[in-house]
Amino acid sequence: MENNLRISLVQADIAWEDKSLNLKQYRDLLSNLSGKTDLAILPETFSTGFSMQNSHLAETNAGETISEVKTWASSFGMAIAGSFFAKDEFGNIYNRGFFITPEGTTHFYDKRHLFRMGNEHEYFVAGQKQLIVSYKGWNINLIICYDLRFPVWSRNVDKAYDLLICCANWPEVRNSVWETLLKARAIENQAFVCGVNRIGEDGNQLKHQGNSMLINYKGEVLSEIVLNKQSINTYSINKEELDSFREKFPAWKDADKFDLLS
C-alpha cells in the first residue's frame, strides 16, 4: 500500500462552449505535472463550461474529451478526475464525472443532485450510483459541485473511502458556503476532502472565484489556491496519518446506519 498520494488541484478558467480551446489549455497545464503528481483534479465540465445548451456538446464515453484525458493520463503518468457532458444511446444527457488512471482504466459517476436554480434538472438525467475508486492503496469518492450540499449522499459508512473529491463550477457569491461545506464533509466523514473550482466569468455572467482547497480529516486546510488566480497546487497526503487518527478517535464506529434509497 502506498502511504503518500500526491494530489494536484488544477484551478483555471473555462472558455464558454469551446471544447477545442479548453482541451488545449488543460493539456498544457497538465503537461507541466508530468512525473510530479499521482492525481490531477480538474473543475466540473472543464471542456465546455456549465452550459445548458448541452445537446451539441455532449459526447459518449468514447468521445473526444475522454479520449484526450486518457491520452494525458498515459503520457503524463497520472490519474485525472473531473466531469464532462455525456450522452447515452437513448439520448439522455448526464453531467458525468470521470476518474481515469495512467493505465487507461476508466471510472464514471453521474451527478446525483442537479442544480435546480440553474435548471440543470430540466436538461440532465440524475445519477443513481455512488462511485468509490481504489487507486494506489486509497479509496476515493467522487462527487460534483451541488452534491456537496447533501451530506447523506457522501456519508462515509465504515470508512468506505479515504478521500472525497468535489469538482465544481461554484459561483463567487456563495464562496463562504463552499468553504464551510468542504470542511464539514471532511470532519463528519473523517476523510481528506479536495474541492477544485473554476475561475472566471461564464456565459451566464456568473463569476467564479476558485478557492480550490485540500482539507484534512480534522477540517484543517492543507493547501489552498489564491482567489481568482490560475494556478496548480500539489500536496502529498499520508494514509498512515489518516488511519492513526481514525483509530485514536473512532467516531465512525458510532455513525448512524441507514439504507440510501434511489
Q: What percent of the chain has pLDDT over 70?
A: 98
- Per-residue pLDDT reduced to its tens digit, 231-259: 999 999 999 999 999 999 999 999 988 77
Q: Of 38, 79, 80, 86, whose CA–CA distance to 59 is shortest? A: 86
Q: Please indicate whether residue 6 or residue 122 has the higher confidence score (pLDDT).
A: 6
Top pLDDT among 3 and 15 is at 15
Residue 228, phi-psi category: left (phi > 0), alpha (psi -120 to 50), beta (remainder):
left
Let me know if 194 is a catalytic residue: no
Whether residue 10 is predicted with pLDDT greater than 70 in this model: the reply is yes
Distance, CA of 183 to CA of 89 (rounded, Å): 39
d(CA 99, CA 141): 10
Which pLDDT tens digit goes with each residue over 203-235?
999 999 999 999 999 999 999 999 999 999 999
- What's the pLDDT score for residue 257? 80
Report how far apart, in Å, the C-alpha atoms of 59 and of each of 47, 48, 86, 138, 239 are.
11, 11, 5, 29, 36
User: Which grid cell is 245?
Assistant: 487518527
Helix H or strand E encompassing 72 = helix 64-76
pLDDT at res. 1: 47
Q: Which of 44, 59, 68, 120 is catalytic?
A: 44
Percent of the chain with pLDDT over 90: 92
Cα–Cα distance list, 213 to 103, 119, 256 (Å): 27, 27, 28
d(C-alpha 6, C-alpha 222), whole Å = 12
Q: What is the pTM of this model?
A: 0.96
Q: Is 172 a catalytic residue?
A: no
Exposed, middle or buried by CB within 10 Å (0-12, 13-18, 19+), for 155?
middle
The pLDDT, as a whole number, for residue 54 is 77
Report the alpha-carbon distance of residue 51 to residue 204 in Å, rounded.
8
Predicted confidence (pLDDT) at residue 89 exceeds the cutoff of 80: yes
Active-site residue, selected from the candidate residues 19, 111, 183, 239:
111
What one-letter code names the amino acid at 21? L
Is 111 a residue of the active site? yes
Residue 8 C-alpha cell reads as 494536484
The count of other CB atoms within 10 Å of the CB of residue 60 is: 12
pLDDT of residue 2: 60
Residue range 82-106: mean pLDDT, rounded: 96
pLDDT at 261: 58
The full DSSP string for 114-135 is --GGGTHHHHSPPP----EEEE
**What is d(CA 87, CA 85) in angstroms, rounded to the nearest whole number?**
7
CB burial of residue 10 (10 Å; 0-12, 13-18, 19+): buried
- CATH class in words for 4-254: alpha beta
Q: Which of 145, 166, 167, 194 is catalytic?
A: 145
Listed by start position, the domains of the chain span: 4-254
pLDDT surpassing 60 at residue 262: no
Render the burial of 125-142: b for 16+ CB within 10 Å, e for the rest: bebeebbbbebbebbbbb
Element (H, E) at 209: strand 207-209
Q: What is the pLDDT of residue 53?
A: 82
- Predicted confidence (pLDDT) per residue in 111-160, tens digit: 999 999 988 999 899 999 999 999 999 999 999 999 999 999 999 999 99
